[in-house]
Amino acid sequence: MKTKQILGLLLMLVFFSCFTASEISAQVESKFSPVKFGSRNLGGPRLGFTYIPGHGELVTQLKEKKIGVLLSQFGWHFEYQIVPDIEGPCFIIEAVPLVAGVEYGTLIPSMTLGFGIRFPNGIEFGMGPNVLGTEEGAMSALMITVGKSFEYGGVSIPLNLAVTTNPKGYRVSFIFGYAIEKSK
């Protein structure tokens, strides 16, 4: 599947799943009263897998080092939310440092700064810059993600699919974890 097709599918998924009747109703009600905002911190561990398809420069570099195109990911998710006092979307700023490739005896660091929106039904999407550490130096890319967070007994369980792209190739990642809201 080409990058444009994957990005198109992600955008269609976000567009069609974000607006439920209750969200539209809350948006209409909020136009008639001022909205107050609070904040939440939902940081926590993250793990998952990244697949690097195709025959791009990134795949070639990995193969030269005897590293496969399917890599484990481990890290931490730092998340700050701006939350309206009425039912509506949360605005999210997040930093996600990860290391990949431990199963190949190496550490490939990456850092993503994401800006996004999470709707009351748990559907979320965002985008931002990503920096991947390579032997040649830092390589920047654009990350686009879509996901869903499930709430279970005071624990948030996010599931995210991310596509990271630049001229050297693209990566597709599935990242999950958990977060317990920090008390203030």
Tell me the pLDDT tens digit for each residue of 57-92.
888 888 998 999 999 999 999 988 887 777 789 899
The domain defined by 3-180 folds into: Porin (2.40.160)
Residue 109's CB is within 10 A of a number of other CB atoms, namely 15
Question: Which has more confidence, 74 or 30?
Answer: 74
Where residue 16 falls among pLDDT bands split at 50, 70, 90? low
The answer for residues whose C-beta is within 8 angstroms of residue 96's C-beta and 6 or more apart is 46, 75, 76, 77, 78, 111, 112, 114, 175
Tell me the pLDDT of the chain averaged across its residues.
Answer: 83
User: Residue 49: is its pLDDT beyond 80?
Assistant: yes
The whole-model pTM stands at 0.75
Burial label, 174 (beta-carbon count in 10 A; 0-12, 13-18, 19+): middle
pLDDT in tens, 101-135: 999 999 999 999 999 999 989 999 999 999 999 88
